């Protein structure tokens, strides 16, 4: 029992490290983009936190006039835009991917009053395939921390399984395309050999006829 508990804790630590949020720095109106491979019909939850640098210090703080514009484009469909939303300095939003493929997430800090020239620190966390983060607190106020962590672990394992299925599907498509291409190359090679043999045969007959006419043979 102790060994099982120790294994669960170890896995929780590992997945917690994998799921840590990105954090980076941007100037006002500057845009940074990230790319993520998403399965089809999958719920995506993004958590955002943006602060501005206090002048003359190394401290960052929220500002009510500051917001974060987030867009999501499908790079596999000519950058078709599926999300365009303005978030507060501490917020999150969700959307469901319609098709499988690479998605581009772009973030741009802006001020509602049009201010410019500020520096910002942004935290960005992306959770894929999470329809229910936790059990509803209204129906279960005494769900302990370990139960929540196990739910997160199960969700992450399901995400890994979906990604593996997506990779297997892509490998199958690539294999079919490779076999089709190899088949066409083989047919074209056979046609070239037939044409080459026919050309050689014709040239030999023509040379033989020429030599006979010239009484060389």
- Residue 33 domain flag: yes
Mean pLDDT of the chain: 78
Average pLDDT over residues 10-17: 40
**For residue 28, what is the domain's CATH number?**
2.60.120.680
Higher pLDDT, 66 or 142: 66
Percent above pLDDT 70 for the chain: 77
| 7-16, 90-99, 120-129: range with lowest mean pLDDT | 7-16
- Residue 200 domain flag: no
pLDDT at residue 6 tops 80: no
What is the total residue count of the chain? 217
**SS3 sequence, the chain?**
CHHHHHHHHHHHHHHHHHCCCEEEEEECCCCEEEEEEECCCCEEEEEEEEEEECCCCCCEECCCCEEEEEEEEEHHHCCEEEEEEEECCEEEEEEECCCCEEEEEEEEEEECCCCCCCEEEEEEEEEECCCCCCCCCCCCCCCCHHHHHHHHHHHHHHHHHHHHHHHHHHHHHHHHHHHHHHHHHHHHHHHHHHHHHHHHHHHHHHHHHHHHHCCCC
- Residue 103 domain flag: yes
At 162-204, the pLDDT tens digits run 888 888 888 888 888 888 888 888 888 888 888 888 888 888 8
pLDDT at residue 8 tops 90: no
The domain total for the chain is 1
pLDDT at residue 13 tops 60: no
CA 99, CA 39: separation in Å to the nearest integer? 7
Domain that holds residue 98: 20-131
- Residue 10 domain flag: no
Question: pLDDT confidence of 31, banded at 50, 70, 90?
Answer: very high
- Residue 14 domain flag: no
- Residue 178 domain flag: no
Q: What is the pLDDT of residue 129?
A: 66
pLDDT at residue 33 tops 90: yes
pLDDT at residue 77 tops 50: yes
Q: What is the pLDDT of residue 21?
A: 65
Higher pLDDT, 57 or 3: 57
- Residue 120 domain flag: yes
At 97-120, the pLDDT tens digits run 888 889 999 999 999 888 898 999
pLDDT at residue 149 tops 90: no
CA 158, CA 216: separation in Å to the nearest integer? 83
- Residue 92 domain flag: yes
């Amino acid at each position: 029992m102790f060994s099982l508990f120790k294994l669960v804790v170890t896995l929780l630590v590992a997945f917690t490290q994998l799921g840590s949020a990105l954090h980076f720095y941007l100037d006002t109106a500057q845009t940074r983009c990230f790319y993520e491979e998403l399965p089809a019909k999958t719920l995506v939850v993004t958590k955002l936190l943006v602060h501005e640098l206090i002048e003359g210090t190394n401290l960052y703080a929220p500002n009510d006039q500051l917001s974060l514009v987030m867009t999501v484009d499908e790079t596999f469909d000519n950058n078709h835009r599926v999300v365009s939303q303005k978030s507060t300095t501490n917020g999150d939003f969700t959307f469901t991917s319609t098709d499988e493929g690479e998605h581009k997430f772009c973030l741009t800090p802006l001020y509602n009053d049009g201010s410019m020239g500020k520096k910002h620190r942004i935290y960005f966390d992306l959770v894929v395939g999470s329809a229910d983060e936790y059990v509803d607190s209204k129906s279960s106020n005494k769900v302990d921390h370990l139960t929540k962590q196990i739910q997160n672990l199960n969700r992450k394992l399901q995400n890994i399984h979906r990604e593996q299925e997506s990779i297997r599907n892509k490998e199958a498509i690539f294999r079919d395309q490779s076999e089709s291409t190899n088949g066409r190359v083989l047919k074209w090679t056979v046609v070239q050999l037939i044409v080459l043999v026919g050309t050689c045969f014709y040239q030999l007959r023509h040379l033989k006829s020429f030599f006979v006419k010239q009484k060389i043979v």
